[in-house]
Amino acid sequence: MNNIMLQGTMSGVGKSLLTAGLCRIFKEDGYRPAPFKSQNMALNSFITNEGLEMGRAQVTQAEAAGVEPSVRMNPVLLKPTSDVGSQVIVNGEVLKNMSARDYFKYKTTLIPEIMKAYDSLASEYSPVVIEGAGSPAEINLKSNDIVNMGLAEMVDAPVLLIGDIDRGGVFAQLLGTIMLLEEKERARVKGLIINKFRGDVSLLDSGLKFLEEKCGVPVLGVMPYTKLDLPDEDSLSERFDKKERGALDIVVIKLPRISNFSDFDVFEGIENVSLRYVSDIDDFGEPDLVMIPGSKNTIEDLKWLRKSGLEAKVLRNAEKHPVFGICGGYQMLGRRISDPEGTETGGDIRGMDLLPIETVMGRNKVRSRTEGEFGGLSGVFRALNGLRFEGYEIHMGQSSEPYYSEGDIYGTYVHGIFDAEGIAAGVLDALAERKGISLKNLGLKSDRERREASYSKLSSVMRSNIDVDKIYEIVFNHKCQ
């Protein structure tokens, strides 16, 4: 079986995107690749056609590979519920909530499920492009590893090690990681890649030579910093740093446990439209639309929203401008949220009272693909009535109404609600008309069209800057154990 594994010197070095890029390259060259990540920790997730939950990054990679997303590509998903605990999802279904310490002791019992998922994938697809997590040199986590070098040994995978030059210290990152690996682990590393470079690559020549001499591993390329219109996986997203305000200003509340913020990607990169993630009252302004996103701990995030002063800002802004809540954000807009069984945090809390709904958390998670048609909308977005939408639902709570609108306040459980053709454009047109401005010729592509263009761009940039021939040699000539 042919495979290759991408590991990084730390989180956020670009493993997920480069994995997607390799999947697209193999697809373009006539192979049938598939991505795999044994254990993912992320709050951006997705529901498959079978109603099972998996990490969003592996969905992106599957799409780049041209194959249907499957939970086999991400058999273990950890969704943080607090600083020290996560909801553990195995093969797309909730197992239970566990503390970090308890999960560390438990995780090796998941190896049979991980290997079953991998073997099933490898029997249908080749090459399998595997993504690691964090760093393989985390000394405190190396024992019983199931996602980095431990997995590489289980599936006999050659490894490419990626460093992020944009953060600085890339030579120390790569060399230090190699030095901290055991001898048998170092033998698996077949190439180094430097990612997110800005500038004249020839200025790196002496450093690249130094790396190859000290590490004993070839540098396969230097990837330039590349802007792509693809979903981000976690809270390291650079999307959160944008502060400029456009003629139309959309604010997304950056909750501490924000999840599925890819719901709002469709509004990015549009001339005269700003999409800002706000976690401080000083940055709030007077936006034309406020979005409240999903949350992995709705009650705790509502408490934060209240304590931070942002709830008061949202309520005051709602007197003039629309508010749209999705999933946990929708629940917050209601009158009350109750968690009698301690599903997330326990307790009972008053909502923002912008919609006449009540929510009760339960043990059973709703996981479903959803499609339908807007109807009964009033207020500024009434022109959306009749448009078709599709998406998916992932939520623990049940509300008295699954979807609701009242005046300019809107709520839904459907993730991806803005992605279908005409919906995002309809939202922006309605906001512009109310404001008395024109946003002509928006030229909004569908969500799928934008992603396809990014996959093609990513593969082209990788082919131009990375030794793809050498990667093929590594994949197909790797000697089994």
Residues 297 and 333 in one domain: yes
Encode pLDDT of 222-248 as tens digits: 999 998 888 766 555 666 777 889 999
Residue 215 annotated among the catalytic residues of the structure: no
Residues 396-420 have a mean pLDDT of: 91
The 10s digit of each residue's pLDDT in 108-142 is 999 999 999 999 999 999 999 999 999 999 988 88
The answer to whether position 376 is within a domain reads yes
Looking at residues 383-394, what average pLDDT do you find?
Answer: 94
On whether both 156 and 255 belong to a single domain, the answer is no
Residues 431 and 459 in one domain: no
The candidate with the shortest Cα–Cα distance to 152, out of 306, 312, 302, 37, is: 37
Number of independent structural domains in the chain: 2
Min mean pLDDT across 54-58, 154-158, 313-317, 399-403 is at: 399-403
Does the residue 39 lie in any domain?
yes
238 in any annotated domain:
no
Mean pLDDT of all residues in 346-369: 93
- Could you tell me the two tokens for 88? 């553990």
State pLDDT tens for residues 186-207.
Answer: 999 999 999 999 989 999 999 9
**443 within some domain:** no
Catalytic residue among 327, 395, 478, 480: 327
| Mean model confidence pLDDT for the chain | 92
Query: Is the same domain home to 211 and 343?
Result: no
Q: Over range 329-340, report the average pLDDT.
A: 96
Nearest to 66 by CA among 464, 456, 457: 456
- CATH code, 47: 3.40.50.300
Residues 300 and 418 both lie in one domain: yes
Q: Say yes or no: 265 and 202 in one domain.
A: no
Give the model's confidence band at 271: pLDDT under 50 very low, under 70 low, under 90 confident, else very high. Answer: confident
DSSP secondary structure string for all residues of 408-426: TEEEES-BTTT-STTHHHH
Q: Say if residues 446 and 420 touch (Cβ distance below 8 Å).
A: yes
Report the CATH number that the domain containing residue 368 is assigned in CATH. Answer: 3.40.50.880
254 within domain boundaries: yes
Residue where the block lists tokens 């033998």: 187
| Residue 243 forms part of a structural domain | no
Same domain, 152 and 198: yes
pLDDT > 90: what percent of the chain?
80
Q: Does residue 440 register a pLDDT over 80?
A: no
User: In the predicted model, what is the mean pLDDT of residues 148-172?
Assistant: 96
Provide mean pLDDT across the span 75-103.
Answer: 92
Please give the residue range of the domain that contains residue 467: 3-230+452-477
Contacts of residue 276, Cβ cutoff 8 Å, sequence gap at least 6: 242, 243, 244, 245, 249, 250, 251, 252, 283, 287
Residues 13, 143, single domain; the answer is yes
- Give the model's pLDDT for residue 282: 95
- For the chain, how big is the Rg over CA atoms in Å? 23
Contacts of 165 (CB under 8 A, 6+ apart): 194, 195, 196, 197, 222
Residue 315 has pLDDT above 80, yes or no: yes
- Same domain, yes or no, for 61 and 126? yes
Q: Looking at the domain assignment, is residue 446 inside a domain? A: no
How high is the pLDDT of residue 408?
A: 97
How many residues in the chain? 481
In a domain, 204, yes or no: yes
Same structural domain for residues 158 and 203? yes
pLDDT at residue 291 greater than cutoff 80: yes
If pLDDT is split at 50, 70 and 90, which confidence band does 402 have?
confident
- Single-letter code of the amino acid located at 220: L
Both 277 and 219 in one domain: the answer is no
Query: Which among 215, 321, 395, 415 is annotated as catalytic?
Result: 415
Average pLDDT over residues 266-284: 92
Would residue 321 show up in a list of annotated catalytic residues for this protein?
no
**Are residues 42 and 179 part of one domain?**
yes
